[in-house]
Structure 1
Amino acid sequence: MIEDDESILSSLKKELRKWQYQVKEVSDWQNIMQEFSNFAADLVLMDITLPTYDGFYWTARIRNISTVPIIFMSAAEMDPNAVRAIATGADDYITKPFSSAVLISKIQAILRRVSSEADLQEKVITVKDCQLNVLTNSLSCAGQTVRLTPTEGIMMKLLLLNLNKTISKERLMQNIWQGGLFITENALNVNLSRLRNKLDVVALKENLITERGHGYRLVMQ
């Protein structure tokens, strides 16, 4: 938990531990990345306003070394902060004040998704000359490799498994946010824009086609 409000920390730790989650909060604001690395978290809860830099900065730093799911918690206005959070690398966003039940549902949905990917017999999806490692969310094509976030990995897996077929926005959103608690076309568009930019690294940017009014299609001959 990268959050500096003691009252929020106290109540959330109590609630999370009821669900048998092991919780670690940042104790040294000068060494956030070291504490993150030492704890090896399965998921990060991130505030925006922090004592040193902000949540966007620390999310970008985490994304340089990890694809761990990140949920933003903020009292700031949903838009444009939610859009910026997702563009930076967050997987979900919740606005304060929120009920613990909603947060737990979001955490469970993300961890369930990550767990189901880890249990897959097929750890690597190979299509044409591209390989997607569903555990590390590493995408390799034509000799180039790019690391995706968990959300980007879900989208890429769906696109690869449905090559040359149009996938509706509704289906994408259902696969990404299984709990249905953070589903907006704006959030989906930001995620797809971020994915499209990363596909440029592996020469697939032009292969991701937008079917206006219908959805998206990954094209390969």
Structure 2
Amino acid sequence: MYKILIVEDDKSLCNNIKEGISKWGFETASIENFENILEEFAKYKPHLVLMDINLPYFDGFHWCKKIRDISKVPIIFLSSRDSNMDIIMAVNMGGDDFVTKPFSIDILVAKIQAILRRAYSYGESEGQIIECEGAILNINNGTLVYNNKKVELTKNEFRILQLLMKNKGKIVSRDRIMRVLWESEYFIGENTLTVNVNRLRRKLEDIGLKDFILTKRSQGYVIP
């Protein structure tokens, strides 16, 4: 079942959209916290986003750009603003389509179905990010985003963080981390692993993620 995230602050319209597209078999969710849409996006992992332009705090163009930093998921803009400049802005920010309010639910569904067919016809999925405590790891380009700050990771740092985030709450042994790096042709020894983890921790602290990775003595590392 495809998941649709609705970013619309008009609750009545949002509920109408949810009801209308749910009848076509789509799973839907709507944004609750308009201050940090990116975090809710990462947690829900939708296949498509319906994005209003006029939103509290930051507009839809802003959030479209933030989503594009971590995902290629299709985005359809919904707006009563229909000037050429708005449409150009929507496209330039990475939008896939633009629907002017008021609109027919049937037309909206047709556009959603067409875009989903194009986006996922070759078996592609939305699983290109991992979210953990507001930190968003981009599998495609090896970057981490937290609190609107982005950090570039080395291949070793990325693979270490990916393994720990996938196993949040579980202790991952040093031997297991090194086996993963070995299988990926990025083998590193005991001392080098410590250096990589410490360097990764410094990068995380620079964007506000202090004590994100904990050491469990004689056991390994964990993201609690």
TM-score interval for Structure 1 and Structure 2 normalised by the shorter chain: 0.5 to 0.7
Q: Distance in 1 between matches of 2:74 and 2:21?
A: 16
Consecutive aligned runs of 4 or more in structure 1 exceeding 2 Å deviation: none
* Residue 26, structure 1, aligned to residue 31, structure 2: yes
Note the alpha carbon deviations across 1:62-120, whole angstroms, 9 max, x for none: 0000000000000002411011100110000000001001100000000111221227x
Task: Answer whether contact 1:48 1:73 (CA < 8 A) is retained.
Answer: yes
The answer for the alignment partner of 1:42 in structure 2 is 47
Q: 1:34-64 deviations in whole A, cap 9, x for unaligned?
A: 1000000000000000011100000000000
Counterpart in the other structure of 2:69: 64
CA distance in 1, matches of 2:28, 2:38: 16
Structure 1 residue 104 corresponds to structure 2 residue 109: yes
Q: Does 1:89 align with 2:89?
A: no
2:82 to 77, 86, 94: 77
Bigger radius of gyration among the two: 2
Q: Distance in 2 between matches of 1:72 and 1:30?
A: 19
Distance across 2 between alignment mates of 1:91 and 1:33: 18
Matches within 5 A, 1:186-201: none
Instruction: Identify the residue that residue 146 of structure 1 maps to in structure 2.
Output: none
Residue 117 of structure 1 aligns to a residue whose secondary structure is coil
- 1:9 aligns with 14
Shift of 1:28: 1.0
CA distance in 2, matches of 1:59, 1:40: 15
Of all paired residues, the percent bearing the same amino acid is 43
Show structure 2 runs of 5+ residues with no match. Answer: 1-5, 125-138, 142-224
Alignment: residue pair count: 122
Structure-to-structure mapping, 1:103-142, within 5 angstroms: 103-118=108-123
Question: The residue matched to 1:68 in structure 2 has which SS?
Answer: coil
Following the alignment from structure 2 to structure 1, what is the Cα–Cα distance between the partners of residues 115 and 87?
17
CA distance in 2, matches of 1:92, 1:86: 8
User: Do the aligned residues in 2 keep the contact of 1:78 with 1:95 (CA within 8 Å)?
Assistant: no
What are the superposed Cα offsets for residues 14-44 of structure 1, whole Å, 9 maximum, x if unpaired?
0111011111100011221110000000000
**Which residue number in structure 1 is paired with residue 154 of structure 2?**
none
Unmatched runs of 5 consecutive residues or more in structure 1:
120-135, 139-221
1:154-169 alignment runs, 5 A limit = none
